[in-house]
Amino acid sequence: MSQPSPTPDPSLAEIALAFLKLGTIAFGGPAAHLAMMEEEFVHRRKWITEEQFLDRLATANLIPGPSSTEVAIFIGHLKRGWRGLIVAGVCFIIPAALIVSAIACAYVRFGSLPRAQGVLYAIKPVVVAIVIQALGRLSRTALRTPLLAVIALFAAGITLLGVSPVLVLVLAGALSAAALGMKGRLLGASVFTWPKLFASTTVRATLSCAAILTATAVAAPIGLLRLFLSFLKIGSVVFGSGYVLLAFLQSEFVEHSHWLTYPQLLDAVAVGQFTPGPVFTTATFIGYVVAGWKGAIVATLGIFLPGFVLVALSGPMIPRLRQSPVFAAALDGVVAGSLALMAVVTWQLGKASVVDWTTLAILGAALIALLRFRVNSAWLIAAAAVVGWMLR
């Protein structure tokens, strides 16, 4: 069961400043964002416990939308209710949205993306080190029994085989609940209560909303309303990585509406990858390319709004459901599965980032700075950016 928060609740201003900072420096995608949040809010500021962080990470992975942004929204909601929910989410999104809008403005004017390879060359190994540190700390809480460690290994294995992340998490939760049932603590018929409940509520409601939004978006005239509804639909149904988002964006804007060319779509996804903050700010870039500043605002609101709504609906349920032995066991399994997904992403990011002796040295130096000297990850990101600029 989640423990009480170890420090008094922060003010809305403190929440705003903390997430504005994270939104400005959080390079590297969701795994890196989560690692930075874990360091910032569990260990440095002590706003939440590790159990609370892991429970919300698991829930964010089971609902559509950008998981790291939803964890930020969960933290704000946990500390200051609906006001904290809005402040945390908006402040995490705003820096990236402004940076992406500026890049989109230059892109529309000059027809090309700015060169950032040198900076990213040095930042990426540091991001890998930050995530490795977080994985080590989280695993001590998430994998506290041999069974959960086995479930995590199983989840990592089937993820590498190409199984959908959502199915991986559902299987991990079901295995953990089934193991509890096999011990004779619960009736076998109740073992899968939580997965069935989840499937019959969140998933079915999401798909119903998506169907309504699809019909409305198709019927709406070309303009800001249709742009908003298109991104609202995508934000309501997208699970998984940026590659899944790419498939939805291609179908919606290249094949159906013909608002973008495929090269423009790839440029939009690239901008979402190499800028800090949520990868879903790809929508901001597309909105600007299609309809200028108004389009950027409308697209950003559309793709992120479902995450705020889903967190507001599911957040209050977590402490109550933790009291159920079935749900607690299932959530423990989902937490182990989430950690496995994070580890697989880290492995893939490491292979893409550590490409020569220089990047290997940067990774090693970053790990020493983090593990031995407890250097703040924000300073490491800044130092890596300077090193990368000088090297390239």
> Checking phi first, is residue 145 left (phi over 0); if not, alpha (psi -120 to 50) or beta?
beta
- Nearest Cα neighbor of 32 from 276, 303, 366 is 276
At 37 the pLDDT is 96
167-176 burial, b at 16+ Cβ within 10 Å, e below that, comes to ebbbbbbbbb
Q: How far from 32 is each of 69, 252, 286, CA to CA, in Å?
A: 12, 28, 24
CB atoms within 10 A of CB 199: 12
Does pTM top 0.85 for this prediction?
Answer: no
- Report, in angstroms and rounded to the nearest whole number, the Rg of the chain calculated over CA atoms: 21
**Inter-residue contact 346 to 105 (CB < 8 Å):** no
End-to-end CA distance of the chain: 49
- The single-letter code of the amino acid at 259 is W
At 145 the pLDDT is 93
At 222 the pLDDT is 52
55-68 burial, b at 16+ Cβ within 10 Å, e below that, comes to bbbbbbbbbbbbbb
pLDDT mean for each 10 residues of the chain (392 residues): 61 97 89 93 94 93 89 96 96 96 91 73 86 89 92 93 84 89 54 47 50 49 82 82 70 86 83 86 94 94 95 88 84 90 86 91 94 86 87 76
**Inter-residue contact 39 to 133 (CB < 8 Å):** yes
At 200 the pLDDT is 46
Question: What is the token pair recorded at 304?
Answer: 């992120």
Question: What is the token pair recorded at 247?
Answer: 């498939």
CB atoms within 10 A of CB 185: 10
At 296 the pLDDT is 95
**Inter-residue contact 77 to 60 (CB < 8 Å):** no
- Nearest Cα neighbor of 139 from 362, 389, 335 is 335
> Checking phi first, is residue 163 left (phi over 0); if not, alpha (psi -120 to 50) or beta?
beta
Greatest CA separation found in the chain? Answer: 67
Q: Rounded to 5 degrees, what angle do the CA atoms 49, 95, 13 make?
A: 50
At 199 the pLDDT is 44
